[in-house]
Every structure is written in C-alpha cells, then in structure tokens.
Chain A
Amino acid sequence: MDQKEVRQFIIDAFEENYELMRMEGGHAITGEAKQKALEQVLLYWEKLHELAERVTDTEILLTLPEQRTPAGRKYTIQGVVDIVEENGETVMYDVKTHDCDTVAGNPELYEVQLNIYAYIWQTLRRQSLDGAGIIATGQTEALKEAFRSNQEEKIIQAVEEWDPVITIPLDPDRVEATICRFGEVVDRIEDCKFHPPDWTKLKEPVTARKTLPFATHVCRNCDVRFSCRSYRTYAQNQTGKSGLKMEKFLDDYGNDEEQQEWMDGNLESDLDGLE
C-alpha cells in the first residue's frame, strides 16, 4: 500500500467504526470531535509508521480473572496491548489517546498499568517480555498550536519534536498493591461513590512539560465543571477574595482560537440552501 492508499484505508476504517459504534452504543460525539479523532489516527500514521509496521500482534486482550474486591465482589481486570516482536525481543505497547505530556506527568499510573499487564503476560502466560512503552497519540499543546498556525514549517517542526513513545520500566513489585487499589475502586463504583477530587487537588500540576494544573488540563475540558463543587471552589479561590464573577465563569467557551475553530467546524456554510 502506498501512502495514499493507507490514508484512504484509515479514513474508510474510521467511518465504518464510527457507524458501528454509533449503532452498538448510541451516538456520542459531535462532528467536530469526530474530525479530531480522525486527525489523531492520521497523525499517528504519519509520525509512527515505522513502529506501526513492526507491530506483530494488535489489541491483545489481557485478563486477570477471579479477583475479589474488599467487599467481596467478584470481578475481572482487563487490558489491551500491542506487541512488537523483533530480533528475538518482545516489547509491549499501550496506545493511549491522551498526549505524551499528560503521560509523562503521571508516570506512576502508567508504570503500574503496564506492570500489571506484564505480570499477566509473563507470570500467567509464561511468555517473555523485554520492554514496555506507551504510545500517546493525543495532540500536545505544542502540536495544537502549530496546527492552528497553519504554517507548514511550524507544523513540520512540531511533528518532528513530538515524541509520543514513552518507555516504561518494568518492576513487578508494585503489582499487588495496585490490584488491591483496583478492587477498592470497583467497590466505590458499584456503591455509587462519585465525588469529585477535593478542590485543592485541582491546583496541582498534572502535565510534564507545561505545568498545567488539573483544573486546566482536566476540568477545563469537562462540560460538567460548572455544576461541580470542587471546580467552583477552585475558581472562586483563583480570583482572590471578591470571588470569580459568575458570568465570566459560565461564559468560558475556551480561548479565541478554540472558539474560532468551533465556529469553523460548526457554522452553517450553505446559507441559501437551508430550509
């Protein structure tokens, strides 16, 4: 397949997946988000086609059955990985749709994850493993900026500098504690405990390169932040004693660029054909 064919393959597969998912789980994203998702796959191919071509096994389902939560519920842990086997070496990859800065900002979360997967792979299935990594396909702030500028050289440079593959060290000692924590989370989900994190956590940085706090990185990208106590407390505390004016708080639709992008994608263009 030449580049053009691969591109077309991606577009077709993407459309088909979208239709099937819509049918299986009901429709769930706006047209704009759909476009972004496609761009992410295309960019993955552009940047990482060498790695993609080396993948020997894709979307391998790893399960850890027969687990019990502290409250006694039976459950199964599940994860999915891609495997690259080359020259007698086996490396495990997990594809993530968030950006590499976020991953690098919380390395321990992902380290533990891949270590559990590695445990299932090595200990339960007795297969060899030489390394593990995360492929973070999400666009970093730097990439987004470059694309918005629409200047070719900037984009090329940003894509060049973008490093979406993060190596994860393997350390089997941490598996047990994480599985225990996993069980607690299952209990909390089943018991319907869904309180947001305390507002002070919202101040803490979560990304590696640009030190974005949780509130910006997670909450600003969350439509239900307005009805969230923690986010409101955070917002009020950000603006000093007078408190954030409610209007400003509610009229946050992102910055000018995001807003123009939204308009671009969504405003009716056919002004005369509309009924």
Chain B
Amino acid sequence: MNLDTMFAQSGFTPNPQQERAIKHLSNPLFLIAGPGSGKTRVLLWRTVNLLVFQKIDPKRIFLSTFTEKAAKQLRDGLETILGQVTNQTGRRFNLSKMYIGTVHSLCQRMLGDRRFVPDRSRQQIPSLLDELDQYFLLHHYRFWEEFLSEIGMEREQFLEEQKDFFKNGSRSRHQATVSMISLFNRWSEENLPVEELRKFSSCDAFLDKLVTIYQLYLQKLRGGKHRQADFSLLQQEALQMLMNNDRVIHEFEHIIIDEYQDTNAIQEKIFFRLAEGHKNICVVGDDDQALYRFRGATVENFVQFPQRCQEYLQVKPTEIKLSVNYRSRKKIVDFYTAFMEQEDWGREDGKGFYRLADKGIRANSIDTRASVIASTNTDNESIAEEIALLVKKLLDEKKVADPNQIAFLFSSLKARPVVLMKRALEKMGLNVYAPRATRFFELEEPIAVMGLFLSIFGKPQDNGYAGDYQRFQEWMELCLKRAEELMKEDQHLARYISKKRMEVEQTAKDYQLLTGKVEEEGWDLQGPYDPDIHKQILKDTEGISKEAKKGLGSYVLDRIAKRKLEENEPFTLHYIVNRVSSLDWSVLDCFYRLCRFKYFQQMFELAENGTDEGPIWNLSQMTKYLARYMEQNQVVISGRLLVENRFVQSFFMGFVYSLYRLGETELENGDNPFPKGRIPFLTIHQSKGLEFPVVILGSLNSKRRTQRVEEIVRPMLNRNSEPLEKVPDFDMMRMYYVALSRAENLLVIANARGRGISTFKPFKEMLDKKTLRIPDFDLATLPAVIMKQDVLPRIYSYTSDFLLYQKCPRQYMVFRKYGFVPSRSQTMFFGTLVHKTIEDLHNRLISLKREVKL
C-alpha cells in the first residue's frame, strides 16, 4: 500500500500543488491556501502520510485548528482513513494521544501533561474562565470596590475617565468592563508582563491605574484555591511552562497550524518554541481571509512567516500555493480576485507589500455564465423586496434544496438593511435564522420563557435609571406582556404559572414563619438541629404550608440530620429552616415543565419532524444559560433567597441583565451548521470557513472602526506592523473578500444607493453599468445544487449514536443533537467523563505493569 493507491481508494485526485504539500514533510512549510482550494483535504492526507508512511507516533503530532468543530472534522476524517489502514494491515493507531484541537484546548492539555513538566510530575491544570465567566468576574461590584480602593478613585470619576480613555462613549460599569476586558486580553496575548507595562504607563496616569487593575485581576485568578485562567492567560501559562523546560522542544516532531493568519503573538511564540527541536512546522492559511484583528490576531504572523522562520529556526520555509478554487463558478472567482486588486497593498518604502502578492488564484470551473449579479441601484426597501422575490424563485424552481443553502451575509447584523431584508422575506412566508441579528433575549422564545419566569417570581423594582437600565426594564415589561398573552391562550399554562407563583409566595412565608418560631422559642438560629427536640415544634408552626410540614417530617431528612449529629457536624437550625422552606424545583426544572405547554411543545414537534430547527436551538441555548446561572449562583431557590429578594435580584438584575447587555449568544452549532427550513443571516465573521450554493451580500457599507485597543497597545510592541491608518481599509477588504468567496453557484450583491448610504469604495469601482442586475438575470442559466458528498464521511458511534437513537429518537435529538443541558437526567457528557477516567486508570495500570516488568 502507498499513498497513491490510497488516494485511488478514496476517489481523490490531488492536483500537483496539493500533492506536493501532502508529500512535503520536513522543515518548515508555508502553505498559502486560497478559498475553496481543498485545504482541509491536504491537511488530512498530509497527516495520514505522517502517521502511516512516515510512522510518526500520533502523540508526536501537534495539529491546531481554529474551532473545535474543525478539529472534530479532521479527527473523524483521520479515523476513517486510518480505520481502513488498520483493517488492511493490522497496524493500529491511537489518535487519542495526538494533539489535535484549538490552541486553547491544546494549551490546557499541555499544562496537564507530564511530558512537559521537568520532573514529569502530575500537574493541576487551571480551570478555564470562559468569556462570560470573565465578564461576570470583572463586572462584579466586589471587584470594583476592590480596585477602586486600590487605585484611590471614586467610581464616578473612574467611569468618566475611562470613557475618555477608551473612547467608548459610555459611563456605564458594563461598558467600562467590556473595554477593560478587551485591553487586558490583548496585554495577555502580547505576553506583556506588568513590569513591562509600567514602563509605558509611567507617563499616563490613567493607563497606570488600568495596569494596577490588570495586576489585581491576575492576582485574583492565580491566588484562589483553584488556579483559574481566561482564554488569553491560558496561553501565557502554557508558554511559560514551555520556556522553563528545554526538553519540550523535542516533544513534537510535527507542528501543523491551520488558519495561521488568525493567530496572535503569543501563539506564534508557542508554536515556534515547540518546533525548535525538529523544525517541522507547517502553517496553512490565507492572509486575504484574516478576520480577527479585534481579538488580537496579527496577520503579520502569516505574511512574514518566512522571515520569522529565519529568526526563530534559522531556516527558510518551502512555499507552496494552493491556488485552484474548486468551490465557485468561474465568474465568482474572477470577481473576488479583481476585488482584491482594488486596494494598494504596497509598503510606503516601495519594498514589497503588506499582502502576499501573486497568488495566482484561478477557478477550476469553466462555467463562464453569469454568476455574480447585483440588485438594482435603488433604496434599501426596494432592494429587500427585489431580493426576497429572487429568493422565493430560487426555492420555487428548486435551484436550492433547502432554504438553509441561501446565506445572507452582513458585516454587522445590527444594521437597517438586515431588518428590511428579514421583513421582506417573512412577508413572502420565508423563515429566517439569525442567531446574532438580534440580542438573544430579544428572540421570541427567550422572551416567552423570561416572561413566564417574571410572572412566577415577580418583576424587580424599577429604580428609574436611564439608558440600558431603562431599556431592560422595558424589555421585562414586554416579556410580561407576552406571558400574559400566552396564558390567555392557554388556560392550563395560566393555572400552572399561578400555582408556581403561590408556591414562591408560600415558600417565602414559610421561611419567615419558621425563623419567627425559632426566635419565639428562644433557640439560637445558628445552634444545632436535633429532630428529637425541634422537629415537632417546628412542624406545629401555625400557617406553614403542607410542603414545609412534609419537609420537616421527612424520615430521610431525619436520618441525615441524626447522622450529622453523630458525626459532630450537625445541621444548624437555620439550615433546616431554609431547607424545608425551599422550592423543590430549580429554574431549569421549571423550564422543562414549561415545555409541556402548547406554545413550547410545538417547537419540539417542529424539530421532531425536521421541519424547523430554529426554535429548538434557542430553547437549547436557554438551558445553557439557566445552567450557567445555577452554577455561578445556586441551584436551590430557598425561602431565604426569596424573602431577602436575593433571587430576583441575582437572577434578573444580575444575570439576565448582563446577558441582555452583552447581547451575545455563544452559539457554535454542532454538526448541522444551520437549521433546516430557515434562511441563515450571518455576520461575515460567522461565515468563515463555510460555503453556500447562494450567497447574498446584504450591504456594502464602509463603516470604519477605529481600533482603540490597537492604538493603546501599538507603542508597547516592537514589531513591523501594518500602519494604523491603513488598517481599517485593509481589514474591510479582507472581510468582504471572505464574504464574496463563500458563494458556490450564485453571488448576489445588494447595491443600495441613496441618502445616508455609504458604499465601500472598491465596490463603487466594480459595480457599474455593465454589471448584470437581478431583473435581467435568467434563472434558467443557474445550475441546481448537486448534493455534494462530504469530503469526510461522518462517523457514527455504535453506542452514543445507534443505541441511543434506538432507545429514544427524541431523547437523542434533544440531548445529543441539540445539546440541551439536562436538569436531572444523565447524558452523554456523563458517560464520556466516566469512560475517559476509566481509560486513564487502565492506562496507568498498564504502564505500571510495564515498569514492573522492566
């Protein structure tokens, strides 16, 4: 068996560049991969080549991808191909030891891996603070009190100064927190230690204060009983570990980094450090598709890779260009290639370019019929109608198989054309899926759920502040109104909600009555609880509910309480009072019960039929938020929390309000990227790495974003970077390039004109009288979508897919496919966790046995 016979078996015929890349294995490889050029396949086969023919041990390969989803695809692909090899040759491959994943997860893995620790001892890995956790920590009023006293500033004064400093136009704690987070993360990603930052902040008093806050934040994460790290610091920790141990440079024989144009400064240091020993580093990317500067990515990592290789490794990389596009029809490729030429990428000194020039991008397709069309040159309203009509025709004439094959892309989903376009489509009876178009909490499903929760627990008082606060109060009113409507439509629901409301009221009352009783009896609330002494008297408290009586009377509770007494760790009376006056359900329990009512139930049914997946994704997201609240705060809603109004405050005014303001969803869908039956509305960033038969570029605006953090950080860096004044245009070029290159069969450009509409200059040049307009487009020339066989066949597990589905398809759908967080049932996550740990145990035992033998 050799590579060529394997290609043949898999029906893959690589082009010469692809083949060269797959077979080039030693020394640095600089792989410049244009859109749709078969990059994933090349990565896959190159890795197969390493594992099968070069006999590289999987644990000696480090392969980093941009998302977990991409990592999973590659892993699945490898397992399929390697499975064939095993079946034919008997050779086995243990991929679980291979380092494949996002940089963050690989960093976390290295931190816990004995291989990287000088004395090979087991390390405690830091627990991860994700973006929301980080926000909640930095936004917490206690943190604010702490740092304000540390920097000796009043809150109002701080808010005022930060507004000027960050130019964020807001004096709110929320906005200040968001701005600080982006600066702090950038500092961490540039690996700038506090002492270094002080050198720059000495001449700027406010910057100096920010450095102090950053320092305090670092202490907080590192000083707790369990070390924590946010995404950026996780990388810093990993780098530090790697720098402290010289053996690490030989641990990986091959370092492969995908989407290299979107890596940051600290990641580059990590990769080169790991590659120091064997020098086999392969980077894959496309500078034209760099999108993540706002998250600290530096496209220079890619553009200047040859120089960096010289600096770090003293070798020159081999450069291979993957330039044949297999995705798009010819005119589409021609269009976006010409688009990129509209900008002057030359350096001021005339020596070279800020972009990798001469990519030689060309289409594989020889279909030269029209595939790029623009709307009529008119106002946004008319354009929306014109495009909606076109979409309807595409569907009616079966040019696409499902609405989810038509993607609308926008630079931002908060713009007016988005609303107009959505409205126009809905008027035609077409459903839209726009996970980031509105804030999550402005979607129909969360409004209904929150409205019902507000009806149960009561709305927090309005203290009359302006701004976001007022908008949030109005939003809660809106939710309540919606809940009223739903209850009017469904008597059962109304009855259920009123029953829950009564339980909440009664629970608070129980708590008050019982603490009153304790006081009346002259007992100490902090004293030990002994069922023999206290139980009956408490049970006889007048006016308490039968639930509280039942709680006090529980034999199980008696047994636990007695045991606690014997163990000399008795429950306090306060604990018992609180326990028996607690709701026996959590917010998540309540959510699952609300799903029983018609309004929600029909959403489940739509998903069960495969008709519409939009609502079920939103419900799934809801369970994630509720579970997060419970994890951060508490699960049980006790009488005490209700009496002191703490629950309502922490849930609505703390948690939900923050999410509402952040306006974020953490959505990264699993296998099926976009719900069936709906037309996706995406930001261009969300469309990264995806392709669609039809793409509609919804607006061509040229809003320049000044990158304040970039401005602050630039002086602190000693780097050959793109000039600040060029950055906005460069970034916009790359963003639109990504958008244009997503289309396979048809690219439609909304070309609005009129008052207040700004058009990005290169589009003005390219869209003119010669451009084919929608009304003149002959739909008959458009080929229908051929269902493409996935490059990588899907892997189905006997147990977690087949058996689970056999048991109950609906349960499979909810927990496995849509990832609902269960409240009380056990799921996949549970099983995998047990399995992985048993595997670790077995491995440990096996290696111990080997040691004994030796």
Contacts and interface: CB of A to CB of B under 8 A. Distances in A.
Contacts of B797: 77-79
Interface in B803-841: 803, 805-814, 817, 819-841
A82 B843 CA distance: 11
Given A53-B849, A97-B826, 16 more contacts: A10-B837, A20-B105, A20-B125, A21-B836, A31-B635, A36-B830, A63-B83, A76-B83, A77-B802, A79-B799, A109-B803, A126-B90, A137-B838, A150-B563, A226-B592, A266-B635
B742 to A, nearest CB: 23
Interface string A124-145: 1111000000000100000000
Give the interface size bracket for A toward B.
35 or more
Interface of B: 68, 76, 79-84, 86-87, 90, 92, 94-96, 101, 104-105, 108-109, 112, 122, 124-125, 127-128, 142, 492, 496, 499, 554-557, 559-560, 563, 572, 574-575, 578-579, 582, 584-586, 588-589, 592-593, 595-596, 600-601, 604-605, 607-610, 613, 624, 627-628, 630-631, 634-636, 638, 640-641, 646, 666, 676, 789-790, 793-799, 801-803, 805-814, 817, 819-846, 848-849
Nearest to B580: A263
Interface centre among A80, A195, A263 (most CB of B within 10 A): A263
A109 B802 CA distance: 10
6 nearest A-B residue pairs (beta carbon): A192-B610, A63-B83, A58-B842, A194-B813, A266-B635, A28-B829
24 contacts: A13-B837, A19-B128, A23-B128, A24-B105, A28-B827, A28-B829, A33-B830, A37-B830, A63-B83, A65-B81, A73-B793, A77-B795, A77-B798, A78-B798, A186-B801, A192-B609, A192-B676, A194-B809, A194-B812, A224-B820, A260-B557, A266-B636, A267-B579, A268-B641
Contact of A58 (B811, B826, B834, B839): B839
A177 interface: no
Interface in A49-81: 52-53, 55-66, 73-80
Contacts of B801: 185-186, 189
Given A28-B827, A192-B610, A271 B575 contact: yes
Given A52-B842, A79-B798, A260 B826 contact: no
Nearest to A261: B556
B90 to A, nearest CB: 5
A221 B825 contact: yes
Contacts of B604: 224, 227-228
Contact of A275 (B104, B142, B601, B613): B142
Contacts of B825: 221-223
Contacts of B841: 6, 9-10, 13, 41, 45, 52
A26 interface: yes
A197 interface: yes
A227 B600 contact: yes
A17 interface: yes
Contacts of A94: 799
Contacts of A221: 824-826
Nearest to B589: A253
A30 interface: yes
Interface string A263-275: 1101111010011
Interface centre among B84, B96, B836 (most CB of A within 10 A): B836
Contacts of B830: 29, 33, 36-37, 97
Contact of A188 (B563, B601, B809): B809
A197 B790 CA distance: 30
A60 B834 contact: no
Contact of A263 (B76, B582, B790): B582
Contacts of B605: 229
Interface centre among A20, A94, A218, A264 (most CB of B within 10 A): A20
A55 B101 contact: no
Contacts of B593: 226, 250
